[in-house]
Amino acid sequence: MFILSALLFATTTYCQSAETYAEKLGWKKGDRVVILHVDDAGMSYDSNLGAIQAIEKGVANSVSVMMPCPWVPGFVSYLKAHPNVDAGLHLTLTSEWKDYRWGPLTGLPASPGLVDPEGAMWRSVQEVVQHANADEVEKEITAQLSRARQMGFEPTHLDSHMGTLFAIPAFMQRYVKVGIENKIPVMFPGGHNYTLVEQMLEETKAELKKSGKWKEGQQLPEPELIKLARESGKMIWDAGLPVLDDLHNTSYGWELPAQVKPTDENLRKMKTEKYINSIKALKPGVTMVIMHCTAPTEVFQYISSSGNSRKGDMLAMMDPALKKAIEQEGIILTTWRELKQRRDKVVQSSKK
């Protein structure tokens, strides 16, 4: 389609000509620098176990924690015993599962717009946008940071569960504000966004096809996030924090064909192949690759139906074939801790 081709051409041209944030942080032109990031630690025992295995036995090298969830103390205990683990906050404003739920740390009186009729957070991003305001959002994400620090856990970065903090500009502004005020890097794709543009446009196209509104050759508007991304990225960079060039967030939708049994071997093979192909397609710059690594026990099926997908992520991270592909492609693995250290050095150099 015309608009997709035009946007990808423009993004590719930008990618090839503009200085990437990886270069600004001291890597060479053309370097592909990657964070292999595990979401949802603290959500459940199974989530903790999967994240730990993906990091200790695999190539995953970063993780973030959902502070309102019940298994946070267990994961924070692990972090205290392993202080070199790159761990941030998976800032949480939704509670999406049917029977396994959590509420805001600020509570109902302080943040009524964040609370649904069950006394938990709303299940969907759309409901949060409909009911909550930016002040409630800022109070809640600040409370989640405060709890982490009270527990002795200083996060290396901030990111957003289900992307809620990117849903509207007012939420995003408060997210960035909290990061800048606390000098904590925020997950923000402010560079060429090659992968993210492609993903967002394909998702929009799929939604239109599903509703019967797609017409071959029709033009799609550039995603609102992309319109604001580079300008916002520059503002975050100028405030002294590192910025991503791109974001890969498609692995949650990778599924086995209906006729294929979800055995460990089949899940591992499918996910590993998907990750290898994705890594080969990455453009120069700093890219965060998001995944959900879980080691499902017999209980996880009562939390979520996503156990097979999450187990596949964990198995792929531990697959020697993925590690080999990363090495063969010349991918440089980094962490949020290293990004912040490099950004601080750039700041110091500019003052000399």
H or E element in which residue 333 lies: strand 332-333
> Which pLDDT belongs to residue 210?
80
For the segment 66-84, the average pLDDT, to the nearest whole number, is 98
- Ranges 75-79, 113-117, 207-211, 303-307: which has the least confidence: 207-211
* Residue 226 or residue 133, greater confidence: 133
Instruction: Decide if pLDDT at 15 tops 80.
Output: no
Q: Which of 106-110, 192-196, 319-323 has the lowest mean pLDDT?
A: 192-196
Q: What pLDDT, on a 0 to 100 scale, did the predictor assign at position 209?
A: 82
pTM assigned to the model: 0.91
Given a cut of 60, whether residue 346 has pLDDT beyond it is: yes
Predicted confidence (pLDDT) per residue in 20-63, tens digit: 999 999 999 999 999 999 999 999 999 999 999 999 999 999 99
* C-alpha torsion 42→44→45→49, nearest 10: -60
DSSP conformation letters of 119-162: SSB-SSHHHHHHH--HHHHHHHHHHHHHHHHHTT---S-EEEGG
Averaged pLDDT, 280-291: 97
Contact by Cβ (8 Å): 29, 23: yes
